Chains A and B, each alone.
Chain A
Amino acid sequence: MRQRFDPARLGIYTLLILFAVLFLIPVYVMVVSSFKTFAEVQDLSRLWAPPRGLHWDSFIAAWSGIPEKGLRGLSQNLLNSINLTVPATLISSMLGSLNGYVLSKWKFRGANILFPLMLFGMFIPYQSVLIPLTQTLSFIGLGGTLIGLVLVHVVYGIPITTLIFRNYYASVPTDLVEAARIDGAGILGVYWRIIFPVSMPGFVVVIIWQFTNIWNEFLFAVTVLQKPELQPITVALRNLSGSQIKEWNMVMAGTIIAAMPTLLIYVVTGRYFIRGLLAGSVKG
């Protein structure tokens, strides 16, 4: 299979490059617009042209807001996203690990019926639980709070984290578990001595996946949190882009700020990201 020049390969590369350019158009748009000043972004004759210089004004505006125009900055919302995403990711990953362990190594009667019933929870349109959810959160005193939203993401994260860990632990030899049992380890002992130490790759996949999904989520956040100063960055960004007079340079700088954490994780950990994706993970 020596590669020499032939028209078919030229065609392959042409198509691949063409699609790559098309895929990068939104990135170009975001980067170019965000480095323009407001006056420059208003100049429609230079809409697609690169900025005249690297102006960081839009990033500063997106970060701290423009109070005289009534535009809020995103710094607080970015912090909210971190405060929401980090605990929700860690707790749902831990629960997923325990569930996956039980469902793969300690199958009790009914486990085979229970598992699909759990999985169903990750496919439902969340609109069908929103009304009771907001009612219940208010009833238990967590309505409109970040902790309430953490709880929501923990609960609805259980199906996917359980699924990924169950499939992951299926590859851990049951002989190891049996050997530890003969040595007198109980169910928790086996988990701590055998399962947890080999769980790191599973945790990496699950944590990347949960972090990305919770960071990017919008529907729960916009429904549960009404106060602008409590909302995560996706909701704040939507509000910014929905405002009447659009400061496009500021909005685009905002999208870059909002996208940066998950984008960095993707670029750095691509292989694990794809593994989470193919584990049956679903966006939306």
Chain B
Amino acid sequence: MAHMHRERWIAFLMILPSIILLSVFVYGFIGWTTVVALSKWDGVEPDYSWAGLDNFRQLFTQTGGVSAKRFTVDLWNTLFFTILFLASCVFVGLLLAILLDQRVKGEGIFRTIYLFPMSLSFVVTGVAWQWIFAPGTENRLRGVNALFHSLGLDFLRWKWYTDTTAIGPFHVALIPVVIAASWQLIGYVMAMYLAGLRAIPEELREAAYVDGANEIGLYRYIILPILRPVTLSALIVLGHISLKIFDLVYTMTGKGPGFATDVPGIFMFETTFQGNHYAQGAAISIVMLLMVSLVIIPYLAFSLRREVEL
């Protein structure tokens, strides 16, 4: 028994380096960032004198500071981006998975094509789609606008990510960015649904047919309800990517005209590392962390209680 006891200590010692590293680099640093967010650090030299919630107040009250109005725009952009991005990924991802599940020839090739963007960097994606949606000018059309023009589809031309049109708080310039992000992650959602579909036993489908269900009824009443946990996982994973998105937007469009494509990730990066407004930047990152935590913590708790694979 003493032997057992000793072994358990060695087990603990084996993962101790990882525990220490994560304690410092995750929890310690989050605490440290919180302290910075509550400080007056504004400039290259650290200044930890107490500022209370001033930095947060400035973000939301839109008065003074570096952040006047920008953060409110960012939060609206994040909301609309998230809704459109999640909707398109789940809809197209599910559609492709169902299509591929119909015993099609060349399934492997199709799957490879839909999924390859997942292996690329957001920077590569950003550069490619920046080219595609570059509007050009009336005399020198670029990207997809030039293609539409040569096909006689001029009514489809618009200014894409340089468009400053806003419908209420919704900037239409976000649409091209949503398309690029969806292009990269639809394959991931498809793979999740496909794994879910393949796990459904064949007997269940046959039983449904015996009971007189047609193809549509089978999906509506049997398969889609079974896939509901997959949808939840997909929404959480995509949602948290969407809340903290940075590389793609930063490469493809940057903050955009009038912050049309700005997101908190870009705002934080520019404020902190280009503007040296450290306390402000820290406050933005803490808001981002709270938003992500709201999605992730319940999910982690739920998943681990059921011990399903994440």
Which residues of A does B touch, CB under 8 Å? 1, 3, 9, 12-13, 15-16, 19-20, 23-26, 29-30, 33, 44, 47-48, 95, 98-99, 101-103, 106, 108, 112, 114-121, 123-133, 135-136, 152, 155-156, 158-159, 162-163, 167, 186-188, 212, 215-219, 223, 234-235, 237-238, 241-242, 248, 251-252, 254-255, 258-259, 262-263, 265-267, 270, 273-274, 277-280, 282-284
Task: Report how far A187 CA is from B5 CA in the complex, Å.
Answer: 12
Contact for B288 among A128, A217, A283, A284, CB less than 8 A: A128
Bitwise, B270-304 to A at CB < 8 A (1) or not (0) is 00110000100110111011001000110011001
Contact between chains at A278 and B191 (CB < 8 Å):
yes
Chain A residues near B175 (CB-CB < 8 A): none
What are 27 A-B contacts with C-beta separation under 8 Å? A12-B102, A16-B100, A19-B92, A23-B117, A47-B146, A98-B15, A108-B12, A120-B26, A120-B300, A121-B22, A124-B292, A125-B265, A128-B30, A130-B285, A131-B278, A131-B282, A158-B18, A158-B21, A223-B269, A254-B127, A259-B124, A273-B118, A274-B191, A278-B191, A282-B240, A283-B188, A284-B245
Q: Tell whether A127 pairs with B285 under 8 Å between CB atoms, given A155-B22, A255-B124.
A: yes
Which one of A25, A44, A101 lies within 8 Å of B136 (CB-CB)? A44
| B156 interface residue (CB < 8 Å to A) | no
- Among B131, B192, B286, the residue within 8 A (CB) of A33 is B131
Shortest C-beta distance, A122 to chain B (Å), equals 9
CB-defined contacts of B17 to chain A, threshold 8 Å: 95
B141 on the interface (CB 8 Å rule)? Answer: yes
If A16-B104, A167-B309 touch, whether A212 touches B119 (CB-CB below 8 Å) is yes
Give the chain A neighbours of B113 by CB distance below 8 A.
20, 23-24
Partner of A125, one of B22, B96, B289: B289
B36 contacts the other chain (Cβ, under 8 Å)? yes
**Residues on B with beta carbons closer than 8 Å to the beta carbon of A132:** 28-29, 32-33, 36
A238 → B minimal CB distance (Å): 5
User: Are B112 and A267 neighbours in the complex by a CB distance under 8 Å?
Assistant: yes
Given known A-B contacts A132-B33, A215-B121, A127 and B269 have beta carbons under 8 A apart: yes
B43 CB within 8 Å of chain A: no
Nearest CB in chain A to that of B295: its residue: A123
Q: Which residue of B lies closest to A101 (CB)?
A: B14
B121 touches A282 (CB 8 A): no
**Assembly CA distance A215 to B118 (angstroms):** 13
| B296 engages A120 (CB within 8 Å) | yes
Point out the residues of chain A lying under 8 angstroms from B141, CB to CB.
Answer: 44
Q: Is B122 an interface residue (CB 8 A)?
A: yes
In the complex, which residues of chain A have a beta carbon less than 8 angstroms from the beta carbon of B306? none
Contact of A108 among B11, B46, B128, B310 (CB under 8 A): B11
Establish whether residues B127 and A277, one from each chain, have CB atoms under 8 Å apart when the complex forms.
no
Please indicate the chain A residues that have their CB under 8 angstroms from the CB of B112 in the complex: 267, 270
Residue from A99, A119, A212 in contact with B15 in the complex, judged by beta carbons closer than 8 Å = A99
Taking the complex as formed, is B114 at the interface, i.e. its CB lies under 8 A from any CB of chain A?
yes
Known interface pairs A24-B113, A128-B285; 17 further A-B residue pairs with C-beta atoms within 8 A, sorted by A's residue number: A9-B102, A12-B102, A15-B99, A30-B128, A47-B142, A106-B11, A120-B297, A124-B289, A127-B246, A128-B29, A129-B33, A131-B36, A241-B130, A258-B121, A259-B119, A267-B116, A279-B309
Q: Does B75 make an interface contact (CB < 8 A)? A: no
> Which B-chain residue is minimally distant from A254 (CB atoms)?
B127
- Give the one of B121, B128, B192 with max A CB within 10 A: B121
* Known contacts A20-B110, A20-B113, A273-B119; A278/B192 CB under 8 A: yes
- The complex places the Cα of A207 from the Cα of B216 at a distance, in Å, of 41
B89 nearest CB across to chain A (Å): 12
Question: A252: which B residues are within 8 A, CB to CB?
Answer: 127-128, 131
Residues from chain B with Cβ under 8 Å of A158 in the complex: 18, 21-22
Q: Residue on B with the closest CB to A26?
A: B128
Q: Output the nearest chain A residue to B310 by Cβ-Cβ distance.
A: A280
User: Which residues of the partner chain B approach A120 to less than 8 Å between Cβ atoms?
Assistant: 26, 296-297, 300
Cβ contact within 8 Å between A241 and B127: yes
Bound CA–CA A254/B83 (angstroms): 33
Chain A, residue nearest B141 (CB)? A44
Q: With a CB–CB cut-off of 8 A, which chain A residues contact B269?
A: 127, 219, 223
A283 contacts B15, CB within 8 Å? no
Q: Which residues of B contact A112 (CB under 8 A)?
A: 304
